[in-house]
Every structure is written in structure tokens, then in C-alpha cells.
Amino acid sequence: MLARLGKIAVVAALACTLGLHWAFLQSLAWAGMVVSYSRAAPLSQALEKTFDGKHPCPLCQAIAKAKRAEKKPDAQAEKRIEGVTAPTRFVLTPTPRFWRLLPDHPAPRSIFSPPPSPPPRAGLA
């Protein structure tokens, strides 16, 4: 039972993240508008009046206002991100003091030098 409740909560959170709650509320508003407009006019005129956009109900106006208010923080977040620069190359360079701390021995061979000839034979016991 608890696992099922968790799955329902995850689906509900995902639906809200995608904005499906607005679609659900808008569908309810349209259904209510069709019902109320069809009381005074035929169904075809009620459907036309519902979806023409010229006769919004209070719920439709509240949904539109809430959608606009929800989008405003996104524009502010984009403005804050504008100052980020492209990543630059970061190179670590040892200080001169580091070289003085090394023991006196010949410099190690470069990684670009050829391998020893003949190659070492390890594991021939």
C-alpha cells in the first residue's frame, strides 16, 4: 500500500512539474462553460462561445493569471545565468620552490621517449 502511494505521489509531482495541473483545471473550466452556455443557447453556439476566447470565465482568467505569474521567475533566472563565462583551460604549474624540494637525481625520462630496448622481461620464473 505504501509503495503504491509513493508511486502516485511521484506521478502527481511529475504532472505538476510538466504543468498538467493547468491543463486539468482548464478542462474543468471549459466543461463548466459549455454547461452554463448551453442552458441559454444550442450546444453548437455554446461550444463556439466557450472556445472563441472572447468570453472567458473567472476560472479561465485566474488560470491565465497564475500561468503568467509562474513564468516570471524563469525570466529572472535566465538573467542571473547570463554572467557565466565559458570554461577556461586550467593548468597547474609547480612553483620554483617545488623544484628545490626534489632530491638530487637524474631527471626522469620523458613520457615521449621511446621504450627501453630490449624490452624488460617480467614474470619469466
82: helix, strand or coil:
coil
Spatial separation of the C-alpha atoms in residues 11 and 21, rounded to whole Å = 12
pLDDT tens digits along 16-51: 888 888 888 999 999 999 999 999 889 989 889 888
> Computed from CA positions of residues 110, 113, 114, 118, in that sequence, does the dihedral angle turn out positive or negative?
negative
pTM over 0.75: no
Where helices occur in 82-114 by DSSP H, the ranges are 96-101
Cell numbers that stand for 5 in this block: 502511494
Backbone phi, psi, residue 83, to 5°: -80, -5
pLDDT tens digits along 86-111: 777 777 777 766 656 556 655 555 66
| Mean pLDDT across 57-64 | 90
